Amino acid sequence: MSLTTSSAAPRLWRVALVALLVLTATAFGARHVVSVLKGPADPMTLQVNGISYRVLHVEQVSGLSDADLGGMSHGVNSLVTTDRALVRVTLEVAASDADAGYDTSVLRALAGTVPLDPVAGSMKRGSLRRGGHLEGALSYVVPRNGAQLRLTAPGQVVPLLRVDTAGPAATHDHGRSGPPSTAPPVTSTTVPKQVSP
């Protein structure tokens, strides 16, 4: 009888070891399935305090010029001189699993190393219910220096577009503007919407 008892113990350990390996593989597999279904982090989205700011569209648009204002351009926030460009960023702001407040003042445009606040926009701050979302736009006056424009939030960056360069006579000369830029125009960028599974 001792022969049967001694051979049953190693067999029991083997069964327990195989069961443990199967259980571990199942746990890792389930974790992988969840991460695949969740999908990769969206490179066009900034997350701040339970709110996501997703870039939907970016375009360089015409802004107010010295000529539009008859040369009376002192103190005009959205003035676009020939050495600057007006860029409009369309965003979707969404709450995740809980009611949350949004504040677009946490978003800055970065052209080179200079952070820029928006000069205009259709949204500033508010609150959204769980799962709620809205769309709006922010406009930035940026230097036409050929820099890659980026939208930033604390610790996060979304690339937007490369700003064109100003012509050689581009100055802020209070009513006398130089010739338009000879650089190719910046095309707008629309980000495709992701389909949820």
Interval 40-74: pLDDT, tens: 578 889 998 889 999 999 988 776 666 777 767 66
CATH code of the domain covering residue 99: 2.60.40
Whether residue 96 sits in one domain with residue 22 = no
Whether residue 177 sits in one domain with residue 103 = yes
Confidence band (pLDDT; 50, 70, 90) for 90? Answer: very high
Whether residue 24 sits in one domain with residue 61 = no
How many angstroms separate the CA atoms of 197 and 194, rounded?
9
Please give the structure tokens belonging to residue 12.
């029991």
Q: What is the DSSP string of 56-116?
A: EEEEEE--B-TTTTTT--TT-TTB--TTEEEEEEEEEEEE-SS-EEEEGGG-EEEETTEEE
In a domain, 27, yes or no: yes
Whether residue 120 sits in one domain with residue 27 = no
Whether residue 31 sits in one domain with residue 56 = no
pLDDT value at residue 171: 43
CA atoms within 13 A on the CB side of 128: 23
pTM exceeding the 0.95 threshold for the entire prediction:
no
pLDDT value at residue 187: 46
The pLDDT of residue 148 is above 50: yes
Question: Cα-flanking dihedrals φ and ψ of residue 5, to 5°?
Answer: -65, -40
Interval 112-141: pLDDT, tens: 888 888 888 898 899 999 989 999 999 988
In a domain, 144, yes or no: yes
In a domain, 4, yes or no: yes
The pLDDT of residue 102 is above 80: yes
Q: Domain residues for 55?
A: 45-190
In a domain, 166, yes or no: yes
Number of domains in the chain: 2
Whether residue 141 sits in one domain with residue 102 = yes
User: Taking all residues of the chain, what is their mean pLDDT, rounded to a whole number?
Assistant: 75
Whether residue 53 sits in one domain with residue 25 = no
Is the Cα dihedral 169, 173, 177, 181 positive or negative?
positive
Whether residue 131 sits in one domain with residue 92 = yes
Whether residue 73 sits in one domain with residue 170 = yes
% of the chain surpassing 90 pLDDT: 16
Whether residue 14 sits in one domain with residue 78 = no
Whether residue 101 sits in one domain with residue 6 = no
C-beta atoms surrounding 78 within 10 Å: 13
Interval 172-185: pLDDT, tens: 433 333 333 333 34
In a domain, 196, yes or no: no
Please give the structure tokens belonging to residue 60.
């360089």
Is the Cβ–Cβ distance between 56 and 134 less than 8 Å? no
Whether residue 92 sits in one domain with residue 29 = no
